[in-house]
Amino acid sequence: NSCHNCLYLEGSKIAYLSAYAILGCLCRVLIGRILGSECVSDSNDTSTWMYPVAIKHNLCLTSNGQTHQNGGALFIDLPVNMLGSFIMGLLQSAPGLNLAGANPIACLPSDHWFQSWKVSHLAIRTGFCGSLTTFASWNSQMIVMMEGSMTELGTQIFKAMFGYALGLASAMASFQTGRQVAIWLYRLTNPNLAKEDDLIRDECNEMTMKANRLLVHRGLPDFERMYLTHHLDGKEAEFSQYKTSDLNKLNRWRSTTETHRMLGSGFQVELQDIERRIIIEGKNPNSCLIRCASNFGWDVSSLKKWVVAKQKHKCKSSICQKGMTKSKQYVAAAFPFCAAAGIAMWYGLMETENGGEYFTLYRTLWVTALFAPPGALIRWKLSIMNGKVAEPFAWLPIGTVCANVLASTISALTLAIEVIIADSASKENLYLLAAVKTGFAGSLSTVSTFVAEVHSLNTKYPHRAVGFVYAFGSLFLACIIGLMIYIPAVKSV
């Protein structure tokens, strides 16, 4: 049964990631065309709805760097990289923003039904944001501009260098803005948690040097976190929800651990590990933690009994009835993305009677979207490697580095092949190259996760430059490899 549940969960993740990757890729291509690519089209081209929209509303912001139009530093994918980074920042968890509570999505109320959609959280962050943003296409445009043979303005090294700097700075600023908006929404939608957060911060400022300051385990559910640290301000009414006999179990755990909950008393990591495994994960602590608890007299059995009693109470109360049922949640969440995948397959593979540029564009678009899921899934699996490098580079997110550099290499290869076979390529070959470059490589790489990791490294190591070493190192490596592939191909033509 456990194995079956694991397979079901893994299958759900793959399905959701694939669906969101398709949506992210479609949004990236469409936004890129409306804000940039359509602006260099033939002024008489009315075969698509995008060109009239871009011209009528004066939406031309970016340039592909290959025409007489200046502004290649504002590369085609700059707006989507900023948008995806902003969404990534907006969807941070409460612990990720160093806020009170354990909300997986800090900007939503604690009891919101979407808080429990953990697979969807992964799919939106990794699938949608990861495929909406692209490291590979950004790098590819810069190397085309630096080489210059295929552009009307010639070599544009300075513009390309500025494009790298602008792309990194704008994405990081967008991510930070998303985080700040998430904090504002958190305080607006969770007033009790906001009060608790203020109380904790006030105590941190006033009692930093005092020995009687209690450690706050921010990852615990609201009630346990506030009860164990005597921060039940405004939450006393919740006592009425539980039987006195049940609360006595939690009180027993608090009384036996309070001495070691004081800052500076030691063994706080072990204490938090036990609470995390029992209360949050619903698992038994390992033998080492059990031995530690026994030595210090921590009543682990009372904590386990409290969790069981709380679960029984929760299932008898109206809390279980809030929002939609799980079956309706799955249907509501899966339907639009399954529909998107179906439409993508239909338009990408069907034969049309009218043909022409209109259908060529949309067939290319949808075939491209179909190549997005493999790229996103490979990137997701590569992320498992993050943190697995030996010292002194244990901080390096090697999985993301591999994904971005590999995608940039593939994108540069497709650019080189396009140059070599430009005069003899069939439409089918062009479909495939577009799908590999924009769909697969574009979704294999990511900017949203990339800037989130840069921010995390800068926060974790404020006195070291590892965040910027990672950022500039990734850009430099992708640029050099791309030029080594692209320049020989152009010179051979």
Selection from 54, 149, 128 nearest residue 380 by Cα:
128
- pLDDT tens-digit readout, 247-269: 888 888 888 888 887 766 677 77
How many Å apart are CA 436 and CA 89, to the nearest integer? 28
Q: What are phi and psi of 262, to 5 degrees?
A: -70, 140
Residues 78 and 80: their CA atoms lie apart, in Å, by 6
What would the 3-class secondary structure string for 93-145 be? CCHHHCCCCCCCCCCCCCCCHHHHCHHHHHHHHHHHHHHHCCHHHHHHHHHHH
Q: Which of 13-17, 23-27, 54-58 has the lowest mean pLDDT?
A: 54-58
Q: Which pLDDT score, from 0 to 100, does residue 327 have?
A: 62
- Main-chain dihedrals φ then ψ at residue 160, nearest 5 degrees: -65, -40
Dihedral of CA atoms 143, 148, 149, 151 in degrees, nearest 10, equals 100
b/e code 421-451 from CB counts within 10 Å (16+ = b) = eeeeeeeeeebbbbbbbbbbbbbbbbbbbbb
Q: Which amino acid is at 45?
A: D
- With a cut of 50, say whether residue 438 has pLDDT above it: yes
Per-residue tokens: 31:
């936004």
Q: Which two tokens stand for residue 297?
A: 């007299």
Give the mean pLDDT of 153-177: 94
CB 414 within 8 A of CB 437: yes
Counting beta carbons within 10 angstroms of the beta carbon of residue 268, is it exposed (0 to 12), middle (13 to 18) or buried (19 or more)?
middle
pLDDT for 289 = 85
pLDDT of residue 142: 95
**In the prediction, which pLDDT does 354 show?**
47
> 217 near 275, Cβ under 8 Å?
yes
Angle CA 476–477–478, to nearest 5: 95
Asked whether residue 83 carries a pLDDT value surpassing 50, the answer given is yes
What would the two tokens of residue 24 be?
């992210």
State the average pLDDT for the chain: 81
pLDDT top residue among 279 and 136: 136
Residues 71-79 have a mean pLDDT of: 82
The CA distance from 72 to 70, in Å, is 6
Backbone angles phi, psi at 283, to 5 degrees: -115, 165
H and E: helices and strands count for the chain: 21, 0
pLDDT band at 211 (very low <50, low <70, confident <90, very high): very low
Whether residue 234 has pLDDT greater than 50: no
Are 145 and 156 spatial neighbours (Cβ–Cβ below 8 Å)? yes
Phi-psi region of 310 (alpha: psi -120 to 50; beta: other; left: phi over 0): alpha
DSSP string, 371-420: THHHHHHHHHHHGGGTT-SPTTSTT--HHHHHHHHHHHHHHHHHHHHHHH
pLDDT in tens, 326-363: 566 666 666 666 766 666 666 555 544 445 555 566 77
**CA within 13 Å, CB half, 187:** 11
Q: Which residues are bridge partners to 262 per DSSP?
A: 214
In angstroms, rounded to a whole number, what is the distance separating the alpha carbons of residues 438 and 425? 18
- Looking at mean pLDDT, say which of 33-47, 162-176, 255-269, 331-345 comes out highest: 162-176
- Comparing 4-8, 288-292, 410-414, the range with the smallest average pLDDT is 4-8
Provide the pLDDT for residue 340: 66
Average pLDDT of span 438-465: 94
Instruction: Give CA–CA dist 178/86, Å, rounded.
Output: 5
Give the pLDDT of residue 119: 87
Residue 39's φ and ψ, nearest 5 degrees, are -70, -15
Q: CA-based angle 184:186:187, to the nearest 5?
A: 70
How does residue 157 score in pLDDT terms, banded at 50, 70 and 90?
very high
Tokens 């602590």 locate to: 285
Distance between CA atoms of residues 167 and 153, nearest Å: 21
Phi, psi of 214 (to 5 degrees): -85, 140
Taken as a whole, the chain contains a residue count of 493
Q: Where are the alpha helices (DSSP H) in 234-299?
A: 244-261, 268-275, 287-296
Q: What is the pLDDT of residue 84?
A: 97
Q: 331 or 448: whose pLDDT is higher?
A: 448
Q: How many CB atoms lie within 10 A of CB 482?
A: 26
**Which comes out higher in pLDDT, residue 335 or 25?**
25
How far is C-alpha 328 from the chain's CA centre? 25
